[in-house]
Structure 1
Amino acid sequence: MTQSLEDYLEMVSFLSDEGEVRVTDIASRLGVSKPSVLSALKALEEQGLLEHERYRTVTLTQTGAIQATEIRDRHNFLTSFLRDTVGVNAETAEEDACKMEHILSDETLKKLKILARAKRKV
């Protein structure tokens, strides 16, 4: 899955925590056009990650919810790691985590989690 589609899936997950998810809300939060959102939603729907009928709300499938949770967990860990372990300011940590969550391998992420646990014990 591309970084862009991961961002859309993550946003649908965030918005679903707040209630119904509409195309307009996704476009507004991500700063993109509605046609861009519709294109991404179609791709995610083809992958079985969400359901969307035109002019209706967007709903994650069970598979989509699991994948979105994994993406959000990576993002939250990296934000906290950069802020609390590395000492980066909160705004920069958030921005950098958003970029890093898409490119780090599972192996690297596991090693960072070990490093973070070890640093907390010190």
Structure 2
Amino acid sequence: MTQSLEDYLEMVSFLSDEGEVRVTDIATRLGVSKPSVLTALKSLEEQGLLEHERYRTVSLTAKGTLQASDIRDRHNFLTAFLQDVLGVGAETAEEDACKMEHILSEETLKKMKILARAKKKTDTHA
């Protein structure tokens, strides 16, 4: 899946937490046009990740919920890692995590998690 489609899927997940998800809301939050959103939604629907009827709300399928959860978990971990382990400011950590979540390998992410746990243990015992 492309970075762009992951961003759309993640946004649908975030907006679902707040209530109904509409194309307009996705476009506004991501700063893109409604036609761009519709194109992305069509692709995600073809992959079985969400359901959308024209002029209706958007909802994640079970498969889409799982995939969006994985993306959000990566994002949240990376944001925390950048802030807590590296001392990066909140705004920069959020922006960088958004970029990193799409490109890091599972191997690198696992190593980062090991490092974060080790730092947490060190901080707890200090």
Whether TM exceeds 0.5 here: the answer is yes
Structure 2: tracts of 5 or more residues without a match: none
Of structures 1 and 2, the larger Rg is shown by 2
Paired with 1:55 and 1:73, the residues of 2 have a C-alpha distance of: 30
Moved over 4 A (4+): none
Relative to the length of structure 1, the TM-score reads 1.00
Q: Which residue of 2 aligns with 1:28?
A: 28
Give the CA deviation at 1:50.
Answer: 0.2
How big is the shift at 1:56? Answer: 0.1
Mapping of residues 9-88 of structure 1, within 5 Å: 9-88=9-88
Cα-to-partner distance string for 1:8-33 (whole Å, 9 max, x where unaligned): 00000000000000000000000000
Backbone CA RMSD of aligned residues: 0.3
How many aligned positions are there? 122
Q: In structure 1, what is the Cα distance between the partners aligned to 2:87 and 2:11?
A: 26
> Counterparts of 1:95-106 in structure 2 under 5 Å?
95-106=95-106
1:37-75 per-position Cα deviation (integer Å, ceiling 9, x unaligned): 000000000000000000000000000000000000000
- Distance in 1 separating the partners of 2:45 and 2:118: 40
